[in-house]
C-alpha cells in the first residue's frame, strides 16, 4: 500500500541525541525500486510525533540508492521516502548492512529484504495484512450496497470479524516467534487495555467508575520504559498524547500528579525521560485550556530549575525559567498584581479600589482592530449583567494617544473605571503577560484571578457556570 507522508522536516531537533551500541560501525542500506522515475530517495525516521529526513541517496550506476555512513543509526522504524513524498517503512536495529527491493507502484506487495532478518519477518507481516485488507474493502462496499438486507449485512460483519481475528492471531504468533523484534515491542505497547466486567458490590450495585479506573491503572502496563527505540516509532508519542488528552481528568492537581508519575516511569531510560519531560512541558506551555499554564510552571520548577533537564543549555534553562516565573504570579487563584494608573482626569486609581463582586480587568487599545470587535461585546454583557453579578470593569487603554482614548470613551459610553497605561506603578505588559490586545482577566471580590485570556464570547457561559459552582459549594 502506498501512503502519502504528511509532514517532513529537514532538520533534527536538539532532543534527538542518543547513543547506540553498535556491533559493526556505521550503516549501509541499499534500495532498489523498479519503475521509479526519479534519481533521488530519502531516508527518514520517526521521532515522537513527527517524521524527519535523515539522509539522501542518489541512484548509482548499478541501479541502487545507497544510504551509508560511519555512524551507526539508533534503532527504530525508518522510512524510505520518494520525491513525491510516498514512503514505506523499514526496521533498522542491530542489522544495519542490508538491501531492500520493491516496485514503485505497490511498495507492500513487492517488498523484499536481503541481509536483515528483522525486515524479512516484518515484511511477512506487512504482506499478510495487505492481503487481508484487500478483502475488507469489498465487504464494506457490499454492506453499504445491501444495507437493507439484514442477512447480508450480518454475513459481512461476521466475515470482517473473522478477518480481524486472523490478523490478531497472526500478530500474536509474530510476537511469540520474534520476542526480541522491535515490532513486538510496538505491538505490545499499542495493545489496548482489556477491561473486565465490573465486580458487583455486596448490595448488587456496581462501581460506575470501575472501567475507567481499571483502564487508567493498566494503560502503561505493556510499555517498556527502558527501550528508547519506541521514540523512533509512532507508538510512544501517540500513547502519551492520548493519555493526557483523553484519559487524565483535566484538573490541575490531577495533571501535576500524572505528569510526575509518567516522568518517573520514563527515568528508566534517559532518552525517554528527556522526550517525556520535553513533550509535557511543551504541551502545557502552549495549552489552549485556561489555567493549564500552572502545569507548565510546576514542571519547570520541579525539573528544570533543579537541573534535572540535563540536555538544555544554560541559555534555554534561563529562558524557560524566566518564562515560568513570569507566569507564576498570574496563575488562576493568585491575587492579581496591584495596578495604579491615572484616569481621564489624571487622578490615580487603584485596581484594588474596585467594589465589584467581580472585576473585569480589560487591557485594550483604541486603535486595535480586534479590540473594536471584542470590547463592544464586553460592554453589552456588562450593561446587561452588572447588577446580576455585581460587575465592575477596570479598563486599561494601552494607546498613547490620550485624546483619542477619551473621545472613544465618550462616544461609546464606557461608564466604568477607565485608566491609561501611559503612567503606571509597574510594567503591566510583563506582569500580566500582555503581548497583544485585547486581554481580559476576571477577578473575584478578593481580586483573585478566576479567568484569564478569556474571549468575550466565552464570558457569559463562564460567569454562569462559575457562579453556579459557588452556589453549590455553599
Task: Write down the domain spans for the chain.
Answer: 3-115, 126-190, 210-330, 340-473
pLDDT of residue 449: 98
Instruction: Find where cell 477619551 sits.
Output: 406
The larger pLDDT score, comparing residue 244 to residue 207, is at 244
Any residues with CB less than 8 A from the CB of 6 and at least 6 apart, and which? 51
- What span, in angstroms and rounded, lies between the C-alpha atoms of 425 and 431? 11
Q: Is the model's pTM score more than 0.85?
A: yes
Dihedral angle sign, alpha carbons of residues 420, 422, 427, 430: positive
CB-based burial of residue 336 (10 Å sphere; 0-12 exposed, 13-18 middle, 19+ buried)? Answer: buried
Residue 38, CA atoms < 13 Å, CB-side half-sphere: 13
- What span, in angstroms and rounded, lies between the C-alpha atoms of 87 and 79? 6
- Give the tens place of pLDDT for each residue, 33-53: 999 999 999 999 999 999 999
Check whether 229 has a pLDDT greater than 90. yes
The strands making up 112-114's β-sheet, listed across from edge to edge, are 65-69, 27-34, 97-103, 112-114
Give 340-473's CATH code, choosing from 3.10.20.30, 3.40.50.1000, 3.40.30.10, 3.20.20.210: 3.40.30.10
- Give the tens place of pLDDT for each residue, 362-377: 999 999 999 999 999 9
pLDDT of residue 364: 97
pLDDT of residue 298: 98
Q: Three-state DSSP class for 258?
A: helix
pLDDT of residue 393: 98
- Give the tens place of pLDDT for each residue, 418-431: 999 999 999 999 99
Report, as an integer, the average pLDDT of 436-465: 97
* Position 473 confidence tier, pLDDT thresholds 50, 70, 90: confident
The topology under which CATH files domain 3-115 is Immunoglobulin-like (2.60.40)
Check whether 12 has a pLDDT greater than 50. no
Q: At what angle do helices 371-389 and 402-412 cross, to 10 degrees?
A: 50
Please state, rounded to an integer, the average pLDDT across all residues of the chain.
93
End-to-end CA distance of the chain: 61
Amino acid at each position: 500500500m502506498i501512503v502519502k507522508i504528511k509532514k517532513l522536516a529537514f532538520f533534527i531537533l536538539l532532543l534527538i541525541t542518543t547513543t547506540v551500541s553498535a556491533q559493526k560501525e556505521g550503516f549501509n542500506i541499499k534500495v532498489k525500486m523498479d519503475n521509479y522515475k526519479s534519481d533521488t530517495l530519502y531516508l527518514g525516521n520517526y521521532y515522537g510525533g513527527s517524521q524527519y529526513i535523515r539522509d539522501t541517496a542518489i541512484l548509482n550506476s548499478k541501479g541502487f540508492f545507497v544510504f551509508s555512513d560511519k555512524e551507526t543509526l539508533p534503532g527504530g522504524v525508518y522510512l524510505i521516502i520518494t520525491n513525491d513524498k510516498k514512503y514505506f517503512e523499514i526496521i533498522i536495529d542491530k542489522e544495519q548492512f542490508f538491501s531492500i527491493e520493491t516496485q514503485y507502484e505497490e511498495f507492500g506487495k513487492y517488498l523484499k529484504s536481503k541481509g536483515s532478518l528483522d525486515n524479512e519477518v516484518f515484511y511477512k507481516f506487512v504482506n499478510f495484512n495487505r492481503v487481508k485488507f484487500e478483502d475488507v474493502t469489498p465487504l464494506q462496499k457490499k454492506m453499504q450496497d445491501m444495507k437493507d438486507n439484514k442477512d447480508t449485512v450480518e454475513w459481512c460483519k461476521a466475515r470482517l470479524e473473522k478477518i480481524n481475528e486472523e490478523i490478531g492471531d497472526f500478530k500474536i504468533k509474530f510476537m511469540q516467534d520474534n520476542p526480541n523484534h522491535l515490532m513486538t515491542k510496538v505491538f505490545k505497547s499499542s495493545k489496548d487495555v482489556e477491561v473486565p466486567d465490573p465486580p458487583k458490590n455486596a448490595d448488587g450495585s456496581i462501581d460506575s467508575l470501575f472501567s475507567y479506573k481499571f483502564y487508567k491503572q493498566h494503560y502503561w502496563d505493556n510499555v517498556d520504559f527502558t527501550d528508547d527505540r519506541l521514540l523512533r516509532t509512532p507508538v510512544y508519542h501517540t500513547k502519551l498524547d492520548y493519555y493526557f488528552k483523553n484519559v487524565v481528568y483535566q484538573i490541575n492537581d490531577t495533571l501535576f500528579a500524572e505528569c510526575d508519575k509518567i516522568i518517573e516511569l520514563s527515568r528508566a531510560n534517559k532518552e525517554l525521560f528527556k522526550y517525556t519531560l520535553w513533550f509535557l512541558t511543551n504541551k502545557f506551555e502552549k495549552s489552549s485550556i485556561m489555567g493549564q499554564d500552572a502545569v507548565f510552571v510546576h514542571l519547570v520548577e520541579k525539573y528544570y530549575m533543579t537541573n534535572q533537564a540535563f540536555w538544555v543549555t544554560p541559555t534555554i534553562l534561563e529562558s524557560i525559567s524566566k518564562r515560568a516565573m513570569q507566569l507564576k504570579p498570574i496563575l488562576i487563584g493568585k491575587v492579581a498584581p496591584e495596578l495604579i494608573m491615572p484616569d481621564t482626569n489624571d487622578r490615580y486609581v487603584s485596581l484594588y479600589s474596585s467594589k465589584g463582586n467581580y472585576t473585569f480587568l480589560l487591557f485594550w487599545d483604541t486603535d486595535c482592530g480586534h479590540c473594536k470587535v471584542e470590547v463592544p461585546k464586553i460592554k453589552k454583557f456588562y450593561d446587561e449583567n452588572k447588577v446580576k453579578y455585581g460587575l465592575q470593569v477596570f479598563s486599561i487603554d494601552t494607546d498613547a494617544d490620550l485624546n483619542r482614548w477619551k473621545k472613544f470613551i465618550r462616544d461609546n459610553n464606557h461608564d466604568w473605571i477607565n485608566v491609561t497605561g501611559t503612567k503606571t506603578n509597574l510594567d503591566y505588559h510583563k506582569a500580566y503577560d500582555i503581548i497583544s490586545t485585547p486581554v481580559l482577566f476576571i477577578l473575584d471580590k478578593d481580586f483573585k484571578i478566576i479567568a484569564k485570556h478569556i474571549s468575550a464570547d466565552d464570558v457569559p457561559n463562564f460567569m454562569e457556570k462559575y457562579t453556579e459552582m459557588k452556589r453549590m459549594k455553599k
